[in-house]
Amino acid sequence: MSADLIATNLTDVLSRLIAAGLSVQQVFPSQRTLKDGVVSIGDLPLSSAALKNTSYQTIYQEIEQNHAFHAKLIDGGLLIFQYKVTANGEILQHRLAYFPAPLLPTMEEAPALYENDELFADIVLERLVRFPIRFDFAPAQFIELQHPKSHLTLGQFEGCRIPVTGPIGPHAFMLFLVRNFYSRAYFRRRNIFEKKFKAINFPHSITDAERKISHLVII
Amino acid sequence: MIDVIWGTAKEKPESSRRLAEKVGDLTANGQLYIGYPVMGSPLGPIKFDALLVSPELGLIAFDLVEGTEIGGYKERQDEVASMLEVKFKPYPNLKQGRALKFDINVVTFAPAKITVPDSEEPYFIANSGNLSNLLEDFTWASDHITFTALVAAVQVVTSIRAGKLKREPKKIDSKGARLKRVEDSIANLDQHQSQAVIETVEGVQRIRGLAGSGKTIILALKVAYLHSQNPEWKIAVTFNTRSLKEQFRRLINNFTIEQTGSEPDWAQIDILNAWGGPGGKERDGIYHRYCLEHNIDFLDYTAGKAKFGQNNELKGVSSLALAQTTSENPHYDLVLVDEAQDLPPEFLRLCYTFLREPKRLVYAYDELQSLTGQAVLTPEELFGTRKDGKPVVTFGPEEASSPRQDIILEKCYRNSRPLLATAHAIGFGIYRNNGLVQFFEQDSLWTDVGYVVESGKLVGGEVVTLARTPNTSPLFLEEHSPVEDLIQFHKFDSSTAQTAWLVNAIKNDIREEELRPEDIVVINPNPLTTQKEVAPARQALFIDGINNELAGVSTSADVFSKLDAVTFTGIFRAKGNEAGMVYIMNAQDCYSGWDKAATALARNRLFTAITRSKAWVRVLGIGTQMDKLMEELLLLKQREFKLSFRYPTAEEKAQLILINKGKASKRRSKQRRELQAVIDAVNSGELDADHIIAQLSKSKRVK
């Protein structure tokens, strides 16, 4: 699995989100070669990791205003895809994140507002609870049963690191998101999302001890 | 003749009025500004009593004495003269070496004094008796070009388009280069516009004008001007489209800095959506604020829609709030409403109620953006009547000694003459096979919006030819490109072919013609299909490395896209925006609707879409409807973009207006609404279509 394949897959994911009418703004993912031939994909002007200890609304605003995302979805949800790969194609790190808009109604809550492009769609009082979702792959920080190499973090809970079987490709992340959080759009445009693509086979990174506690299997 | 432009003169009303009368009697030409300009100084903003700019008399500033106490007038004059020198010195055209090319004259005017001291140069002083003689002795010592530059400097506004990226085209005749030349030509306000900015009414003021006549900029300048003059005023600016918010904030900020040298006090100025909701100033709106201040239950959009039905939401919640108001609790000293044609009268009444005496409300609207003339409610109708049956607001006759309440901006600085004529011809159905689809109620509107009667008369049954002149549609807007390039219609066999052509054209614009992605807007007129229709083109462009975005509630939709992206938009969000190149997809949807009212609505969309363009328009479409649309364009072209038609009789006109007000068949439209509700429910999955069909066929059998 090379950096080029990840980058191609990422562009394909964004183009599917556009074709489905879900993505309204995109930032072309960059590709940069660092020291020792490490390739960094999807660098952004601002790291969402730097925004700890701030209210969710502020975090969202900072990311949005600095265009520190790769796709903005029609209801304001922001997607980030970042990968680091070694010179010989081994995955070093990834950070995949979803930040729902704190103030707008979600696509699931008020589909007609978005589908019919209504002007006052932002003036809706009742809202679901919003929380960011993050899939991190950071083997360098591994601590058995404390900091799984690949993990899922929900909300801004400091200690939330649900073990995940291994690193996740751009398509797998997109599908996880749209199936669960944009299901209406997903079922309508299923052909676009599920169309065949060249998958990346990441090796599993989960440990035996992690397998014995609740964990997430990503396929 | 000298035009008097009334700013605020509340500190010196009587002497201002006398000055306006005296100066108005002079034979010279020029403009007299009262309560203008305002300037920044180390000690805070300084306001001038009055300023006369005349090609014969030159530049004369006035120091007005309201009573009989003249005081240290020489010191005051020194102050005025040196401030003006500071103001004009930065303009290169106004000076020769280090000195200004003209004199700054200052006159103290004390109309209430019987006698005044003799004038000793450069300290001039006069009372009512000798002002005219004194003024007639002044002369303009420099040339005409300098004078024009001086007028531009007095009217400020050097950087209307500030904040926009600089374009640096390499080819001399690329579209990018031509667009740059057009933009440079629009840099200054004209006389009418600057008058509209400064003239301040102690009551309701209406500003009418076509799209592109500068209404938004005028409102922003007005806020900046009045805020610097009256920092204690609570000011609100409101509008329908969210996209205007950023634009207003930027303009007001820039203009205030330009006028006073410091940033506006944002605690005093609210830039608010019409509706709004809880969640701080960012999300606030007039209706929401009103509810808070009056202790009324706030309804959000969903609740408003449920209660009052689609398209009646704001109207419903506004009139409900007014009805629930037990005692008025005014909050603002000045409210400015942009895009009033898209806001219901009830909302304007709400704004009016929300104002302290003397109820300064400025509302700007586009006569034609809703085309039906429906928006052209008179102020008497708009604001309703008092308990005694008298109208709440009525416009008095125009007088030279007072600011104008009703301002018309007839010049259009955005759309060239052929574009505007095309938009109007299609909107009204001038060259439509089956006749007109909508019409103005008042005949005078045609000339108000800048048409001249070239032949015939505006009389029912007569053939009339209406044309726009260089005076109302400046030539620089059309001379940059041949007319075949300004506007094109293209018909395609399929949606795929339309998309392929569009994608290639955009690639060519960016790669060959040096347009920037943000110069390009693609509009899909049918709001219900936009997401789906634009997706293939967006995807193709993205894969080809051209970024693009879909304007929606989550995008800021300010004209200035920061992402270097082509904007795709539905018709609602296109309003208030402009771009050099406008592509309109699926124009066939705009040829006709299922009845005349729907046809009018569909054509209005095309009208709005065409008038977004500063330079070029490409109208794309599919099928036979598109052929018919192109036939209309052909007729218009053959008539050199003039509107030539049989003017409808009063009866025909009434019929057209009735249709558009939707009064023709209330019952039918109610049925249609109910049916639409069912269809919506099916679409959203709330109801099962098969189940309904089964039930319907059952009930048919019973009968």
CA distance A6 to chain B (A): 16
d(CA B238, CA B244): 9
Of B276, B536, B562, the CB nearest to A123: B276
Q: Is B324 helix (H, G, I), strand (E, B) or coil?
A: helix
Which pLDDT does position B666 carry in this prediction?
46
Whether the upstream peptide bond of residue B358 has omega within 30° of 0, thus cis, is yes
Which pLDDT does position B703 carry in this prediction?
44
Query: In which residue are the tokens 């008058």 written?
Result: B195
Look at A144-153, B103-112, B195-204 and tell me which has the smallest mean pLDDT: B195-204
Q: Check residues B83 and A52 and name the one with the higher pLDDT.
A: B83
- What backbone phi and psi angles, to 5 degrees, belong to B340? -60, -20
Q: B20 and B4 in contact (C-beta within 8 Å)?
A: yes
Instruction: Find the DSSP H helices in B366-440.
Output: 379-383, 417-428
d(CA B472, CA B644): 18
B596-610 vs B650-661: helix crossing angle, rounded to 10: 80
B417-428 vs B623-638: helix crossing angle, rounded to 10: 130
d(CA B186, CA A183): 48
Calculate the alpha carbon distances from B65 to A164, B18, B19, B142, B402 in Å: 82, 11, 11, 30, 19
Of A15, A110, A120, the CB nearest to B542: A15
Rg (CA), chain A: 17
Maximum average pLDDT range among A138-147, B545-554, B678-687, B693-702: A138-147
Of A26, A74, A112, the CB nearest to B552: A74
Checking if the pLDDT of A77 tops 70, the result is yes
Give the residue-averaged pLDDT of B615-623: 96
Mean pLDDT of chain B: 85
Checking if the pLDDT of B509 tops 50, the result is yes
Give the residue-averaged pLDDT of B266-273: 93
B286-294 vs B313-324: helix crossing angle, rounded to 10: 20
pLDDT digits (tens, 9 = 90+) for B369-388: 654 445 457 788 888 888 88
Checking if the pLDDT of A166 tops 90, the result is yes
| Contact yes or no for A18 and B535 at CB 8 A | yes
d(CA B465, CA B629): 21
Whether B281 has its CB under 8 Å from any CB of chain A: the answer is: no
Query: In the structure, what pLDDT confidence band is assigned to residue B452 with cuts at 50, 70 and 90?
Result: very high
Whether B27 has its CB under 8 Å from any CB of chain A: the answer is: no
DSSP character string of A171-212: HHHHHHHHHHHSHHHHHHTHHHHHS------PPP---HHHHT
pLDDT digits (tens, 9 = 90+) for B20-54: 989 988 889 988 988 887 777 777 777 789 999 99
Which pLDDT does position B541 carry in this prediction?
97
Which pLDDT does position B560 carry in this prediction?
46
Closest listed residue to residue B269, CA positions, set B325, B220, B205, B215? B220
| Contact yes or no for A19 and B314 at CB 8 A | no
Query: How many A/B residue pairs have CB atoms within 8 Å?
Result: 117
Q: B644 and B515 in contact (C-beta within 8 Å)?
A: no
Give the residue-averaged pLDDT of B596-615: 88
Look at A94-98, A153-157, B652-656 and tell me which has the smallest mean pLDDT: B652-656
Query: In the structure, what pLDDT confidence band is assigned to residue B678 with cuts at 50, 70 and 90?
Result: confident
Q: Check residues B658 and B560 and name the one with the higher pLDDT.
A: B658
Which pLDDT does position B161 carry in this prediction?
47
| Contact yes or no for A15 and B539 at CB 8 A | yes
Q: B41 and B139 in contact (C-beta within 8 Å)?
A: no
pLDDT digits (tens, 9 = 90+) for B514-558: 999 989 999 999 888 888 899 999 999 999 999 999 987 777 645
Of B276, B554, B562, the CB nearest to A101: B554
Which pLDDT does position B559 carry in this prediction?
45
pLDDT digits (tens, 9 = 90+) for B145-204: 888 888 878 876 544 444 455 678 888 899 999 998 887 776 666 667 878 888 888 899
CA distance A114 to chain B (A): 8
Chain Cα centroid distance, residue A48? 12
Which pLDDT does position A50 carry in this prediction?
63
CA distance B244 to chain A (A): 13
Query: In the structure, what pLDDT confidence band is assigned to residue B322 with cuts at 50, 70 and 90?
Result: very high
CA torsion sign, B422 to B425 to B428 to B432? Answer: negative
Which pLDDT does position B380 carry in this prediction?
84
| Contact yes or no for B563 and A124 at CB 8 A | no
Q: B135 and B108 in contact (C-beta within 8 Å)?
A: no
Calculate the alpha carbon distances from B698 to B431, B686, B687, B691, B693 in Å: 48, 21, 17, 11, 8
Q: Which residues 287-306 of B are in CB contact (within 8 Å) with A? A: 300-303
Give the residue-averaged pLDDT of B126-134: 91
Taking contacts as CB-CB distances below 8 angstroms, the residues of chain B near A124 are 277, 300-302
- Percentage of chain A lying above the pLDDT 70 cut: 92
pLDDT digits (tens, 9 = 90+) for A101-115: 988 877 777 777 777
Q: Check residues B363 and B701 and name the one with the higher pLDDT.
A: B363
Residue length, chain A? 219
Give the residue-averaged pLDDT of B636-657: 91
Exposure of B175 by Cβ count < 10 A (0-12 exposed, 13-18 middle, 19+ buried)? buried
Question: B447: which residues sit within 8 A by CB, 6+ positions away?
Answer: B453
B495-511 vs B530-543: helix crossing angle, rounded to 10: 50
Which pLDDT does position B55 carry in this prediction?
92
Predicted model pTM: 0.80
Which pLDDT does position B662 carry in this prediction?
44
Checking if the pLDDT of B496 tops 60, the result is yes
d(CA A92, CA A137): 8
Whether A46 has its CB under 8 Å from any CB of chain B: the answer is: no
Checking if the pLDDT of A119 tops 70, the result is no
Checking if the pLDDT of B593 tops 50, the result is yes
Q: B493 and B623 in contact (C-beta within 8 Å)?
A: no
